[in-house]
């Protein structure tokens, strides 16, 4: 087994799903390669399963029995809220330093991400998965007063019981939320949340599981994907990065190919590729994203029932038994799609 190459923190996608058969080293790569590549990363880990809920992920109100028989209720933050609070706190500390520093990273690891109902688990937090080039969520979402109080407490900020509307930090002093959160954290004063640049999400996914929840295309699109080969070797070299102009032409040709094989595709209009299916990074469309994210979408969603169109496209006479067989021909796939006779 070859040792997985370590990515740099700048090249690591902020939302990544490692996928492949069981035992291909997905969790090992998270612990031994991805986490060490980040800046002093602290980890929050969870595992999705059929009974895992939005409350487990974001937080929930739970009853607590008192010694005198009374019942009180306490808010217990979920795994996402724990990771978010840690990342926001580190970001706030870094920006308040003199001079400002780079914030340490936080890594939220979701094992077996396809064994839970992702749409229900993420709920409105799904909107946060759209990220700008600077790493911040493109949009913010509202949270309840209870969730905000829980988030602030995790950040070491507590409501003043004697002074309504004021909060105090562990460093002392009393301020309103608008004073505590200025600049790029001002959304917190409006009871809204965003994912900051120093929060990374990594999921692991066994492609051979049968008793799994369906992950819709909108959810899949918001993640980068990386295939873990069966033999434990490093993945085949990806195709060459594409310029934006070449990517737009490639998408048009790929959609034409999908439409020509509409008989093999269920609800073909829903399976066509949009220009923003892969986002431009550093001025180009990464070949690795084409090899993993796009090709797996074609394999697992577009041509899930019939792989013959993909075999005919490659035109080399080989049978595609596994996604690894398809992924290994990524460069040929790009060339064939761009070919007028494909």
Q: Is the peptide bond before 316 cis (omega within 30 degrees of 0)?
A: no
Residue 73 has pLDDT above 60, yes or no: yes
pLDDT band at residue 10, thresholds of 50, 70 and 90?
low
Mean local confidence (pLDDT), 311-316: 88
Residue 13 has pLDDT above 90, yes or no: no
Neighbours of 183 (CB within 10 A): 8
- Here the tokens at position 18 are 């490692």
Say if strands 192-193 and 141-142 run parallel, antiparallel, or are unpaired: antiparallel
The dihedral region occupied by 183, where left means phi > 0, alpha psi between -120 and 50, and beta the remainder, is left
Domain ranges of the chain: 15-200, 236-338
Say if strands 106-111 and 42-47 run parallel, antiparallel, or are unpaired: parallel
Residue 83 has pLDDT above 70, yes or no: yes
Say if strands 199-206 and 106-111 run parallel, antiparallel, or are unpaired: parallel
C-beta of residue 194 within 8 angstroms of C-beta of residue 91: no
pLDDT band at residue 155, thresholds of 50, 70 and 90?
very high
Nearest Cα neighbor of 202 from 187, 183, 178, 224 is: 224
Percent of the chain's residues with pLDDT above 90: 61
Question: What span, in angstroms and rounded, lies between the C-alpha atoms of 64 and 71?
Answer: 6
What pLDDT, on the 0 to 100 scale, is given for residue 340? 62
Question: What span, in angstroms and rounded, lies between the C-alpha atoms of 128 and 125?
Answer: 5
């Amino acid at each position: 087994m070859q040792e997985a190459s370590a990515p740099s923190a700048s090249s690591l996608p902020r939302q990544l799903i490692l996928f492949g058969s069981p035992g291909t080293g997905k969790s090992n790569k998270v612990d031994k390669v991805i986490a060490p590549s980040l800046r002093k990363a602290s980890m929050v880990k969870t595992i999705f399963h059929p009974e895992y809920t939005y409350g487990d992920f974001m937080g929930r109100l739970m009853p607590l029995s008192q010694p005198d028989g009374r019942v009180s209720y306490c808010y217990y933050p979920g795994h996402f809220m724990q990771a978010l609070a840690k990342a926001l706190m580190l970001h706030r500390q870094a920006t308040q330093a003199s001079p400002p520093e780079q914030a340490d990273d936080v890594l939220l690891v979701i094992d077996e991400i396809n064994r839970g109902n992702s749409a229900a688990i993420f709920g409105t937090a799904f909107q946060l998965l759209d990220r700008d080039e600077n790493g911040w969520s493109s949009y913010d979402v509202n949270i309840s007063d209870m969730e905000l109080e829980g988030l602030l407490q995790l950040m070491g900020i507590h409501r003043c019981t004697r002074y309504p509307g004021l909060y105090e930090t562990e460093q002392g002093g009393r301020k309103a939320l608008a004073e505590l959160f200025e600049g790029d954290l001002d959304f917190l004063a409006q009871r809204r949340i965003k994912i900051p640049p120093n929060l990374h999400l990594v999921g692991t996914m066994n492609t051979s599981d049968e008793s799994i929840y369906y992950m819709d295309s909108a959810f899949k699109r918001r993640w980068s994907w990386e295939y873990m080969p069966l033999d434990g070797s490093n993945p085949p070299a990806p195709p060459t990065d594409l310029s934006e102009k070449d990517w737009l032409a490639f998408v048009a040709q790929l959609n034409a190919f999908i439409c020509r094989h509409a008989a093999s595709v269920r609800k073909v209009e829903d399976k066509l590729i949009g220009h923003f299916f892969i986002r431009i990074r550093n001025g180009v469309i990464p070949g690795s994203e084409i090899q993993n994210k796009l090709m797996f979408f074609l394999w697992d969603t577009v041509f899930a029932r019939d792989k013959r169109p993909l075999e005919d496209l490659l035109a080399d006479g080989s049978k595609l038994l596994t996604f690894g067989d398809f992924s290994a021909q990524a460069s040929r796939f790009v060339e064939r799609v761009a070919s007028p006779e494909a």
